[in-house]
């Protein structure tokens, strides 16, 4: 009987702590902005038409990855885009083109990257340039 009471008491403490953490998290508000990361977006950008451009001589290697980026709401253009081809990998700078019917073409050079090393396509897009890159 004593063991069941201890288990019930521990479960009750965990529920109270979890409820307190939820109360703090539920109080947060985030204003919408033009930025996005992975599948979680903050009123960011839609990434469409992803193309993995293969090397002409060795199709097991990539030359570049291209895609279109368009604002999910409004018309805020992307000024800065980077990608990762593996989680926790190096970020690669991309070239953002001009607006073509509400979206912008993006080109990311990954020359010589083996296809089997591509385990993710994480995209960061922002309406402001990255001051750390001097852009």
Angle CA(90)–CA(102)–CA(110) in degrees, nearest 5? 25
Name which of 57, 34, 33 is nearest 45 in CA terms: 34
Strand duo 80-84 + 122-126: pairing = antiparallel
56 and 102 assigned to the same domain: yes
From CA 66, how far away is CA 124, in angstroms rounded? Answer: 14
57 and 20 assigned to the same domain: no
**CA dihedral for 35, 41, 46, 49, sign (positive or negative):** positive
Angle CA(13)–CA(16)–CA(21) in degrees, nearest 5? 125
Domain limits for position 10: 1-30
- Alpha helix (H) ranges present in the chain? 2-26
95 and 108 assigned to the same domain: yes
26 and 61 assigned to the same domain: no
Number of domains in the chain: 2
Mean pLDDT per 10-residue interval, the chain, length 135 residues: 64 57 45 51 77 92 92 83 91 89 90 90 82 55
Question: Is residue 101 left, alpha or beta, with left meaning phi > 0 and alpha meaning psi from -120 to 50?
Answer: left
pLDDT of residue 127: 84
24 and 44 assigned to the same domain: no
113 and 91 assigned to the same domain: yes
Name which of 99, 126, 121, 100 is nearest 110 in CA terms: 121
């Amino acid at each position: 009987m004593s063991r069941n009471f201890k288990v019930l008491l521990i479960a009750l403490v965990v529920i109270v702590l979890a409820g307190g953490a939820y109360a703090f998290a539920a109080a947060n508000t985030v204003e919408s902005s033009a930025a996005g990361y992975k599948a979680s977006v903050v009123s960011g950008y839609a990434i469409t038409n992803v193309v993995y451009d293969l090397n002409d001589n060795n199709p097991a290697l990539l030359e570049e990855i291209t895609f279109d980026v368009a604002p999910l709401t409004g018309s805020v253009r992307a000024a800065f885009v980077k990608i990762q081809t593996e989680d926790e990998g190096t970020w690669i700078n991309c070239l953002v083109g001009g607006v073509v019917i509400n979206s912008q073409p993006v080109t990311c050079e990954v020359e010589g990257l083996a296809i089997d090393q591509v385990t993710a396509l994480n995209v960061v897009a922002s309406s402001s340039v990255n001051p750390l890159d001097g852009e």
